[in-house]
Amino acid sequence: MHRGVVLLFAVAAGTAVATIYFAQPLLVTMGAELGIAASTVGGIVTLTQFGYGLGLFLLVPLGDLLDRRRLVTGLLTLLAIAELVAATAVNGLTLFAGMAAIGVLAVVTQLLVAFAASLAKPGERGRVVGLVTTGVVLGILLARTVSGTLADLAGWRAVYVVSAGVTVVIAIVLYRILPATAGSKTMNYWRLLRSTLSLFVEEPVFRTRGILALLIFAAFGTLWSSVALPLSEDGLSHTAIGAFGLAGAAGALAAAPAGRLADRGRARWTTGLALGLLLLSWVPLGFTRSSLWALVVGAILLDLAVQAVHVTSQTLIYPLRPDAGSRLIGGYMIFYSVGSGLGAIGSTAVYAVAGWTGVCVLGAAFSALALTVWGVKAAR
């Protein structure tokens, strides 16, 4: 694949996935303006993640049935509309509806990953997936920085208005540049969904990698869904809180190298080392209230670890059934979505009871369990 096309995939995927994470540094402000209780404001993130999980099951498999170019650009257009719903919300119910729709439609990110993997040659698939995932990682983490800065300049609603405009522009560019693909003539939608479920039964590597995805993204969600709470209490602005996403963006550096290692048959030990690093990251994170530098170090370690495992897993599962690439990626990401939602709701609930120390214990528990699964399964 031409590097420019890979870059286009990376930018589009990163922009789409960012829409899920814009709210994280804005939770306190959004909740205060719309009358959402502090104890339930984390539900904004949780609802978005569970919407994402629903979209992964219902929409992403369509990439194996329909023309992927039309499907991708159509979902991006609908995503822009959902963002405008959130931007104009006048009460908590409307906001929750808009955020749920954003979650469902942002699964276009995974269609882009599967699309890129299908266009890549087998020997370069890990590299291509790694580069596109780099865009996804940057989108996830820089979303907080962008939304925090825009919110301080023009209010939280401006974040979603600007993003909607950018999303429409990207949809137009993608439609003009990406190739059309032939849809399947041998399978209907309901058979497609049933075959997605069968993958969980038939592919042990897929199951193991899905469990790891659930646990590592539960740890990821534990940190990034709750870190705004202690920082807001300490008087930091939206911009300052969002800036910590820049530290986590270093995790993008692990994506491409992890993909290349998977291409060389070193996925097992890459996974084990990354999971050990994930568990270690909660040591400096435990000192966040006394040192913001500890947060920076911990965030870098955590995101490096999570993205190394994530890219390795995607590189391994796609070749299992190349004709079902969208279903494999979508099914795998269901575990990701459930884990992220679990981390979000769990961390905000634990913070209310046990403070930041409790959050770090929760994150370390998810990380330790993931390392245990790898040790028992010797995941490849």
- Which domain covers residue 162, as residue numbers? 3-377
Q: What is the mean pLDDT of residues 247-255?
A: 65
Residue 380 pLDDT: 45
**pLDDT confidence bin for 370, thresholds 50/70/90:** very high
* Residue 282 phi, psi dihedral angles, 5° rounding: -75, -10
**pLDDT confidence bin for 190, thresholds 50/70/90:** confident
Question: How many distinct structural domains can be found in the chain?
Answer: 1
Percent of the chain with pLDDT over 70: 90
CATH number for the domain that contains residue 332: 1.20.1250.20
Residue 183 pLDDT: 67
- Average pLDDT over all residues of the chain: 84
Percent of the chain with pLDDT over 90: 30
- Other beta carbons less than 10 A from residue 198's beta carbon: 13
Q: How far apart are the first and last CA of the chain?
A: 26
Say yes or no to pLDDT of 378 above 60. Answer: no
Residue 160's Cβ-side half-sphere holds a number of Cα atoms within 13 Å equal to 22
Helix (H, G, I), strand (E, B) or coil at 289: coil
The residue among 338, 343, 346 whose CA lies nearest residue 103 is 338
pLDDT tens column, 51-65? 888 888 889 888 888
The answer to which of 255-269, 277-291, 333-347 has the lowest mean pLDDT is: 255-269
Residue 249 pLDDT: 66
pLDDT tens column, 10-41? 999 999 999 988 887 787 788 888 887 766 77
pLDDT tens column, 77-130? 999 999 999 999 988 889 889 999 999 999 999 899 888 888 887 777 777 877
Say yes or no to pLDDT of 170 above 90. Answer: yes
Residue 13 pLDDT: 94
CA 325, 327, 330, 332 torsion: positive or negative? negative
Q: What predicted TM-score, i.e. pTM, was given to this entire model?
A: 0.73
* Residue 264 phi, psi dihedral angles, 5° rounding: -95, 5
The answer to which of 40-44, 60-64, 131-135, 243-247 has the lowest mean pLDDT is: 243-247
